Amino acid sequence: MSGHGEPQPMTARKSAPLKGTAAVPGDKSISHRALIFGAMAVGETKITGLLEGQDVLDTASAMRAFGAEVIRHDAGSWSVHGVGVGGFREPADVIDCGNSGTGVRLIMGCMATTAMSATFTGDASLRKRPMGRVTDPLSLFGARAYGRQGGRLPMTLVGAANPVPVRYALPVASAQVKSAVLLAGLNAPGDTVVIEREPTRDHSERMLLGFGAQLHVEKGPEGHVITLTGQPELRPQSVAVPRDPSSAAFPVCAALIVEGSDILVPGVSQNLTRNGLYLTLVEMGAEIEFQNPRTEGGEPVADLRVRFSGNMKGIEVPPERAPSMIDEYPILSVVASFATGKTVMRGVKELRVKESDRIDAMARGLEACGVTIEEDEDTLIVHGMGAGGMPGGATAKTHLDHRIAMSFLVAGMASQQPVTVDDASPIVTSFPIFEGLMTGLGARFGQE
């Protein structure tokens, strides 16, 4: 839901060693998709482990507004009675996607090839974010978008009555745009083709196959060529949502920088399109053991044993790794502050159009905590201060961005003086149990 209540400041103080098991909630990307694909299948999709964060709850409400029956049975246990591809009904009211770029962009995709119109809005963060990146390809199917200047929400999308399939080369590495085009292609006759130069998270492709769509991926000189055959009947599925590696990043990184820590983080995805942070941390010298590799909910996972790592070194993060760790740069820049030497993050300009301008939010907050930062449009460089070296003693602005809020609370767990975030309320969008989980490990958080 758009609109936030009063800001909720929160302060993190230097923590005792973290101990125990950090079982993080379900993956946000897969949770959105389970609801959306469930709504487009015919019959009942059963979901376990659904993330009950606000972003996902907003997608559940949207699917109801388009005519699907979405029922919560128990914590994480939901069913969706889908209406089939092309079976959506026109919503009677504005669709409010709250803080969620994934929600609004995927939902625009799945209604763009059905003859109806829908009006979308979101909170102050989402209303600033560019929607042209999805409405441009959706217009090739025949949809029309009427938004504010610069392609911003609120926006009305008029779906194509006679959609045509498209062939689209992604101009930005974005799984949201890729997924919006694939979802639109579901209700277009013939083959829709999406070409991505750099691989991005592949949950849509994996799940579409699971739901019975005809889809194949070829690797060619132009990158991944994904071909989807339109107008399938999607079969309902049982979806067991694996844990979210982007949420796991917070306890993992906290344990790396809080002296004496030793924790277990079970079931962290090792999907190559999501595990860039973990590769980077290992290269920096993080002590992480990847135990018990297996498959859960269709994703390769491992249990991570994470110990305090006082000798991490700054590295140059390979720019081509960015799509596989795009949401993890804020927390990586915190870890980099506690390493020695420079950590150089290039090719990261997409961070400027996330829930906030994440390069700016991290740079300003870390500088206030005493860290030296260099930045340009596409680059963030952190000059590490070594283990225990960050002074802290500052308030960071979170700009309605959950990952900025969690990153600075983790920073405050290891810095010399406390770190306050001006507003911790956005954390509910992706990680509603963050405070309880972290304090259960030993974090010292206080409301102020």
User: Which residue ranges make up the annotated binding site for 3-phosphoshikimate?
Assistant: 28-29, 33, 174, 176, 327, 354
Contacting range for ligand S3P; rule: CB under 6 A; set: 38-46, 118-126, 174-182, 251-259: 174-182
One DSSP character per residue, 110-179 reads HHTTSS-EEEEE--TTGGGS--HHHHHHHHHTT-EEEEETTTEEEEEEE--SS----EEE-SS--HHHHH
Question: Whose Cβ is closer to ligand S3P: residue 53's or residue 142's?
Answer: 53
Binds ligand S3P (CB under 6 A): choice among 11, 102, 113, 271 = 102
Q: Tell me, what amino acid is at 218?
A: E
Contacting range for ligand S3P; rule: CB under 6 A; set: 59-67, 87-95, 168-176, 364-372: 168-176
Return left, alpha or beta for 292; rule: phi > 0 is left, psi -120 to 50 is alpha, else beta: left
Residues in binding site for phosphoenolpyruvate:
28, 101, 129, 176, 358, 403
CB of 418 vs ligand S3P, minimal distance in Å: 28
SS (H, E, C) 74-89: ECCEEEEEEECCCCCC
Contacting range for ligand S3P; rule: CB under 6 A; set: 39-47, 173-181, 360-368, 394-402: 173-181
What are the Cα distances from residue 326, in Å, to 103, 111, 358, 395, 433?
17, 27, 10, 24, 22
Q: Which ranges of 258-328 would DSSP assign to H, the alpha helix? A: 276-284
Q: Confirm or reject binding of residue 327 to ligand S3P (CB under 6 A).
A: yes
CB of 28 vs ligand S3P, minimal distance in Å: 7
Q: Confirm or reject binding of residue 357 to ligand S3P (CB under 6 A).
A: no
Q: Confirm or reject binding of residue 59 to ligand S3P (CB under 6 A).
A: no
Owner of token pair 């590769």: 279
CB of 172 vs ligand S3P, minimal distance in Å: 7
Query: Is 327 an active-site residue?
Result: yes
Question: Whose Cβ is closer to ligand S3P: residue 125's or residue 174's?
Answer: 174
What are the Cα distances from residue 43, in Å, to 50, 61, 67, 90, 173?
19, 18, 13, 20, 33
Q: Taking each helix axis as running N to C, give the angle between helix 28-40 and helix 101-111, from 0 to 180 degrees, rounded to the nearest 10.
A: 20
One DSSP character per residue, 43-97 reads EEEEEES---SHHHHHHHHHHHHTT-EEEEEETTEEEEEEE-TT-----SS-EE-
Q: Confirm or reject binding of residue 275 to ligand S3P (CB under 6 A).
A: no
Q: Confirm or reject binding of residue 113 to ligand S3P (CB under 6 A).
A: no
Question: Whose Cβ is closer to ligand S3P: residue 104's or residue 413's?
Answer: 104
Structural tokens at position 192: 């829709």
User: d(Cα 231, Cα 215) in Å, to the nearest integer?
Assistant: 12
Q: Which of 55, 202, 327, 423 is catalytic?
A: 327
Q: Across the strands, what pairs with 145?
A: 157
Q: Are 70 and 95 in contact (CB under 8 A)?
A: no
CB of 429 vs ligand S3P, minimal distance in Å: 10
Q: Confirm or reject binding of residue 358 to ligand S3P (CB under 6 A).
A: no
Owner of token pair 């691989």: 199
User: d(Cα 354, Cα 363) in Å, to the nearest integer?
Assistant: 15
Q: Write out the binding residues for ligand S3P, residues 19-38 only, by CB under 6 A.
A: 29
Could you give the string, one character per residue 191-230, with x where binding to ligand S3P holds by CB under 6 A and - elsewhere? ---------xx-----------------------------
Residues in binding site:
28-29, 33, 101, 129, 174, 176, 327, 354, 358, 403
CB of 202 vs ligand S3P, minimal distance in Å: 10
Q: Confirm or reject binding of residue 181 to ligand S3P (CB under 6 A).
A: no
CB of 341 vs ligand S3P, minimal distance in Å: 28
What stretch of H or E contains 30? helix 28-40
CB of 433 vs ligand S3P, minimal distance in Å: 18
Q: Which residues are marked as active site?
A: 327
Binding site for ligand S3P (CB under 6 A): 29, 102, 174-176, 179, 200-201, 326-327, 350
